[in-house]
Amino acid sequence: MNEQVLSRVREIASDVLQADVTPESSPETIESWDSVQHLNLVLALEEEYGFEFLPEEMDQAKTVGSLARLVSAKRGA
């Protein structure tokens, strides 16, 4: 995975969720990560990178790390 992407995704997630995050952070580990904040995070990433996640991609992205991997893959596609 592109380390620059991971770093930027962590920054965005930290900003949206108002919490310190690691690649393993998920809705189960971050108190503020509810459905509305998940939406805010997805939209912030889509705005940052200029694409929209496909429905099946959204199901896979359940941690900050998996979101970063997804972003990397979509940017490389």
Partner 1 sequence: MSLQILPYAEEAVPAVREFNQRLLAGGAVADLQFPETPHPGWMPGMELFLAVEDSMVRGGYILRRQMFSVGGATLGAAHYRLPLSEGIVNRSYAHLGLRMVRDALSREPRLYALGMGGWDKPLPRMLKRLGWTMCAVPFHFKVVHPFRFLRHIRPLRTSPLRRAALDAAAFTGAGWLGMKALGLVTPCARRLLPCPFDLAPGFAPWADEVWERSRPAYALLAQRDAAALDQLYPPSDPRFLRVRATGGWAVLLDTQMQDHKQFGDMRVGTIVDCLAPPSSAGAIVRAAASLLEQRGVDLIVSNQLHTGWSRALLESGFRGSASNYLLALSPAFAQAAGGANPGQFHINRGDGDGPIHL
Nearer to partner 1, 20 or 34 (CB): 34
5 vs 30, beta carbon nearer partner 1: 30
Residue number, 4 or 60, with CB nearest to partner 1: 60
CB of 65 to partner 1, least distance (A): 15
Which residues make up the interface to partner 1 (CB under 8 A)?
Answer: 26-28, 33-40, 42-43, 55-56, 58-62
Structure tokens that stand for 4 in this block: 């620059």
